[in-house]
């Protein structure tokens, strides 16, 4: 995928990473260090040993002092639980640092709103790591969806992540798939079918939750979410139905190594130009508003 991107001629963006867990190590640190658009300069974690283990392969500095991280970078990437992200990202924004944010923005709607307001007041660039949105296959799907009349849609985000392993983390086990996987599916449905006007939820997000979305276009979509089912491989699937044959997006078989260079390039470009893209903190707030609405029904 990098071969398809024009050469990067600017200075690499100096990025600090907040977090040293499995996702931070597997994706954030590796992708940001790969460049050429970005350079990983520092890693912060509450445990300095974890920060050192994450930073060392890339020659980055490890620190357990958040202010020291801010002093060493122009932008901050986050890979921590939502409640921690909402607090620390606000501090980074007030310090004038651009933000690469995970979903969901915060542990609840109020903290997400506070973060979005802080980012707006600070005037810094923000971007969400909604991984599907940077993959060429998803972009082709959404482009085709814009030319398709959709009457109804069904989608699913299913995995066994909560059954054990690195991603069975306390916040995921507490809040379940609605907060963890929900942003991905609601984002895709909102973008592919049309703005979601109303969403209702049924079930237990820690086991299985079913969402029904009413779109401003008049279409209806369904979304099945679970991180507690034994499936051969977790994944996301979206099917759009209407007068023409179904339009399908399925992550089975997709290589996300095609997405990360796009994400990195678009974030660095946004920071250098000072203009956030579509997938900014306000997009994150909208998704969190939909999640909160589903949780109340």
Parse the chain into domains and list their residue ranges: 2-130+258-279, 136-253
**Would you state the pLDDT for residue 1?**
45
Q: Is 31 in contact with 260 (CB distance < 8 Å)? A: yes
Fold of 2-130+258-279: Rossmann fold (3.40.50)
pTM: 0.96
How do residues 70-102 score in pLDDT, each as one tens digit? 999 999 999 999 999 999 999 999 999 999 999
pLDDT of 216 > 90? The answer is yes
Same fold, 2-130+258-279 and 136-253: no
What CATH number matches the domain at 136-253, 3.90.1260.10, 3.90.100.10, 3.20.20.370, 3.30.360.10? Answer: 3.30.360.10
Pairwise CA distance, residues 80 & 138, whole Å: 26
Cis peptide before 73 (omega within 30 of 0): no
Q: Name residues whose C-beta falls within 8 Å of residue 28's C-beta, 6 or more positions apart in sequence.
A: 17, 19, 77, 79
DSSP notation for the chain: -GGGSPPP-SPPEEEEEE--SHHIIIIIIHHHHH-SSEEEEEEE-SSHHHHHHHHGGGT-EEES-HHHHHHT-SEEEE-S-HHHHHHHHHHHHHTT-EEEEPSSSSSSHHHHHHHHHHHHHHT--EEE--GGGGSHHHHHHHHHHHTS--SEEEEEEE--GGGSSTT--HHHHHH-HHHHTHHHHHHHHHHHH--EEEEEEEEETTTEEEEEEEETTS-EEEEEEESSS--SS-EEEEEEESSSS-EEEE-TT--GGGTHHHHHHHHHHHHHHT---SSSHHHHHHHHHHHHHHHH-
Pairwise CA distance, residues 67 & 63, whole Å: 9
pLDDT grade for 297, boundaries at 50, 70 and 90: confident
Terminal-to-terminal C-alpha distance of the chain: 42
Q: What is the dihedral of CA 77, 171, 283, 293, to 10 degrees?
A: -170
Q: Which residue has the higher pLDDT, 156 or 5?
A: 156
**Would you state the pLDDT for residue 60?**
98
pLDDT of 2 > 60? The answer is no
């Amino acid at each position: 995928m990098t071969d398809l991107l024009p050469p990067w001629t600017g200075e690499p963006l100096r990025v600090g990473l907040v977090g040293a867990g499995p996702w931070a190590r597997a994706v954030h640190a590796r992708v940001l260090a790969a460049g050429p658009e970005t350079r990983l300069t520092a890693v912060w974690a509450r445990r300095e040993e974890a920060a050192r283990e994450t930073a060392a392969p890339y020659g980055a500095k490890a620190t357990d002092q958040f202010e020291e991280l801010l002093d060493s970078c122009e932008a901050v990437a986050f890979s921590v639980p939502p409640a921690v992200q909402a607090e620390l990202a606000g501090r980074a924004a007030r310090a004038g640092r651009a933000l690469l944010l995970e979903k969901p923005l915060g542990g609840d709607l109020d903290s997400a709103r506070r973060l979005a307001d802080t980012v707006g007041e600070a005037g810094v660039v923000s971007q969400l790591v909604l991984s599907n949105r940077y993959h060429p296959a998803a972009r082709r799907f959404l482009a085709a969806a814009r030319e398709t009349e959709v009457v109804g849609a069904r989608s699913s985000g299913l995995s066994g992540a909560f059954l054990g392993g690195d991603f069975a983390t306390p916040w995921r086990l507490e809040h379940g798939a609605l907060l963890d996987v929900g942003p991905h599916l609601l984002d895709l449905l909102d973008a592919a079918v049309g703005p979601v006007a109303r969403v209702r939820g049924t079930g237990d997000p820690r086991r299985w939750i079913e969402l029904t979305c009413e779109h401003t276009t008049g279409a209806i979509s369904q979304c099945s979410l679970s991180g507690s089912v034994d499936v051969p491989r977790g994944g996301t699937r979206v099917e759009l139905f209407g007068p023409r044959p179904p339009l399908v997006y399925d992550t089975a078989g997709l290589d996300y190594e095609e997405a990360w260079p796009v994400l990195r390039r678009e974030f660095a470009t946004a920071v250098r130009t000072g203009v956030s893209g579509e997938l900014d903190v306000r997009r994150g707030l909208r998704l969190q508003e939909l999640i909160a609405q589903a949780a109340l029904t």
